[in-house]
Structure 1
Amino acid sequence: MSDKSLLRVLAGEAVSPPPVWLMRQAGRHLPEYREVRARAGSFMALCLDPEAASEVTVQPVRRYGMDAAILFSDILVVPWAMGQELRFVEGEGPRLPPITDRAGLDALDVAGATAKAAPVMETVRRTRAILERDHPGVTLIGFAGAPWTVGCYMIEGRGGREFHLARRMMHAEPELFADILTRLEEATIAYLLAQAEAGAEALMLFDSWAGQLPPSAFRRWVIGPARRIRAAVREAYPDLPMIGFPRLAGALLPEYAREAGMQAVAMDTGMEPAWAAANVPENIALQGNLDPEALIAGGTAMEVEARLILQAMRGRPHIFNLGHGVEQPTPIPHVERLLEIIRAA
């Protein structure tokens, strides 16, 4: 049995108090992050600088004593590594040339993607070494975006809330759509396996836009790829656990939990923890799900919500986290107070 609390939970143990980390914890709410980001010159440059990216990954562990460090990178590194041009516009987000036809798909290079992403693997190696030396109880989490979510960005060429073009292609050009996501799934598997080889101790699959799909499409394009990705990782690394995050899955979360084969599923902000605890199989850990806005607000509102989650999760494997990512205005004292509440549970 590991002495790392997060790995114990991923092995099915109910640990009290639960391990805690926060999505996007290595980021804009920390002044030390902003200093490194300013020196890097651009977000993408930071992602591809192993020394700077490993420093940013470890910063929240150093400041807060988190139980996990998650690799500092971005879900769009995979399409970038496949040859799709990627840039980040300040205040607006990512921009990519949209893939709307067979020629755009054929220009992608799956075979060379992992080699192009070599700086990310060096970040994993550096970070694992730092954690083993300075924070031996902390688990290093690698990650990738799931094919549906990353595919939305690749087809649309930018972020959005509805992803009309991707959803329309799914219905109107099903063969092209399927080929794009299949190509992306292959690259994602290779990318995650490379992180595992470099030293990641757990992996997380982010499907941030899973809730955009109707149930039949959710089963095909969210659960199906997650199951195949998990199977590929398990074949290569039988003991490496995975966390799945089908954001906004709603009533389909238990089905995802049963079918995808993950050791944990993450709850988004809108998920009722008690319902998830009652409907997700007990041997599968739950992660989440404090509202990031409650963390910004702090005070009684945050404390009440945090305690409700802890109460609902009592007695079952649980990783305390947010229901989405830490936002830039989040006050550091609020995070510190949240950790006090969790560790007193």
Structure 2
Amino acid sequence: MPDYPTSGRPLLDVLRGQRIDPTPIWLMRQAGRYLPEYRALRAEKGGFLDLVHDSEAAAEVTLQPIKRFGFDGVILFSDILVIPHALGQDLRFVAGEGPRLSPPLVDATLASLEAVPERLDPVYRTVGLVADELGPDKTFLGFAGSPWTVATYMVAGQGSRDQADTRRMAYGDPEAFGEIIDAITTSTVDYLGKQIEAGVHAVQLFDSWSGSLSPAQFERWVIATNAKIVAELGDRYPDTPVIGFPKGAGEKLPAYARETMVDAVGIDETINPEWADEALPASLPVQGNLDPLALIAGGERLDHAVGRIKRAFVGRPHVFNLGHGILPDTPIAHVEHLLALVRQG
């Protein structure tokens, strides 16, 4: 990792390999339903996708957590499914049920879709608006879904518990499935590149469903695709760190970190932090990994969990975060207490 001078943005400096105390902190899904100001704006603007496509509103949502809590970073308010939407699938969010993509590629071909790349334009405008308002000590994170996770939605048309339709397709017709993965990968590189050009300082790849894959399939559909994205972004934007977050990777996490060459790796709440520190490449920045339910529980259990994570990663660059997204019923007071614990140094 290159030896970067201090940027004045602690989170960005950690992602570039520096150890900083107190540990910088942001939380996955920190802009969302646990915040009353988000719920009020969502009620005013309508559906979730309407909010994502309203650049001014999306910029406001992106900045809400940093205005309330003073986190060290903000993450773009958007959704991983804007990529399939841009590739030509119709996207809608059903109240109480989640996203729906049509036609699902279990019943249709990729060639039947007509790409609509301009559907991503509001996202780039949101990035520019946030970048103009962000303070000089804060880091702006962009993101995209990792190709495997995005493909599970494109194939099935919706989320599923075990990603069975997609895993069947990956085994039964790897050529057709590979075309889907390649299309997502190409689009993701371009999408993240345009976020970087619009003003983000670092990007994260979310692979929420990587834990459903066998080791061989994980190597093919997660590691190989992420490595390609990291390499291409590194060639184009060498100063922009990439965080890889393969949720559920478990014992495959060290191989993921080594082979993808991500600049930092996110670890979920199921990972023992002491094991992660020992197993991951030395000096690799890590991000995580407080259980979102521990944050809800609060009290001594929260204090103990935070202390354990901080001790585990005291010898390497560390970004404090949750092991997955903050939950809607998280008390605001618990988030404030978490910030105080982390910033005690």
Q: Give a deviation string over 1:67-90, Cα, whole Å, max 9, x none.
A: 010000000011011110011111
Does residue 31 of the first structure (1) align with residue 46 of the second (2)?
no
Note closer, same or farther for the CA distance 1:225–1:109 as it changes in structure 2 (3 Å cut): farther
- The alpha-carbon deviation at position 210 of structure 1 amounts to 0.5
Whole-Å separation in 2 of the counterparts to 1:308 and 1:211: 24
Q: CA deviation at 1:116?
A: 2.3
> What's the counterpart of residue 119 of structure 2?
116
Superposed CA deviations along residues 155-183 of structure 1, whole A, max 9, x for unmatched, are 01111110110000011111111111111
Q: How does 1:1-345 map to 2 (within 5 A)?
A: 1-97=6-102, 98-100=104-106, 103-109=108-114, 112-113=116-117, 115-131=118-134, 135-345=135-345
Tell me the distance in 1 between the aligned counterparts of 2:171 and 2:83.
25
**Counterpart-to-counterpart distance in 2, 1:104 and 1:220:** 21
Question: Match for 2:131: what amino acid?
Answer: R
| Structure 1 residue 318, shift from structure 2 partner | 0.4
Q: SS in structure 1 opposite 2:80?
A: coil
Q: Determine what percentage of the aligned residue pairs are the same residue.
A: 50
Tell me the secondary structure at the aligned position of residue 90 of structure 2: coil
- Deviation digits for residues 177-206 of structure 1 (CA, Å, limit 9, x no counterpart): 111111111111111111011111000000
Counterpart AA for 1:125: G
Which residue identity does 1:108 align to in structure 2?
L
Are 2:87 and 2:113, in contact at CA under 8 Å, matched by a contact in 1? Answer: yes
Q: Distance in 1 between matches of 2:113 and 2:71?
A: 38
- Over the aligned positions, Cα root-mean-square deviation in angstroms equals 1.0
2:83 aligned counterpart, secondary structure: helix
Shift of residue 107, structure 1, vs aligned partner: 2.6
Cα-to-partner distance string for 1:118-167 (whole Å, 9 max, x where unaligned): 00000000001110xxx221100000001100000010111111011000
Q: For residue 121 of structure 1, what is the amino acid of its counterpart?
A: Y
Q: Is the 8 A contact 2:206 2:246 kept in 1?
A: yes
CA drift of 1:25 comes to 0.2
Structure 2 unaligned segments of length 5 or more: list them. 1-5
- The amino acid across from 1:116 in the alignment is R
Per the TM alignment, residue 100 of structure 1 is displaced from its structure 2 partner at its CA by 2.0
The Cα offsets for residues 288-315 of structure 1, whole Å up to 9 and x where unpaired, read as 0000011111111111101100010112
3-state SS of the aligned residue for 1:96?
Answer: strand
Q: How many residues were matched structurally?
A: 339
Give the counterpart letter for 1:22 in structure 2.
Answer: L
TM-score, length of structure 2 as denominator length: 0.97
Could you tell me how far 1:53 is from its partner in structure 2?
A: 0.3
Deviation beyond 3 Å, 4+ runs, structure 1: none
Kindly state the Cα deviation for residue 104 of structure 1 after the two structures are TM-superposed.
2.8
Gaps of 5+ in 1: none
In 2, the alpha carbon distance for the partners of 1:296 and 1:232 equals: 39
Q: 1:99, 1:243 → 2: CA distance?
A: 29
CA distance in 1 between counterparts of 2:109 and 2:46 reads 30
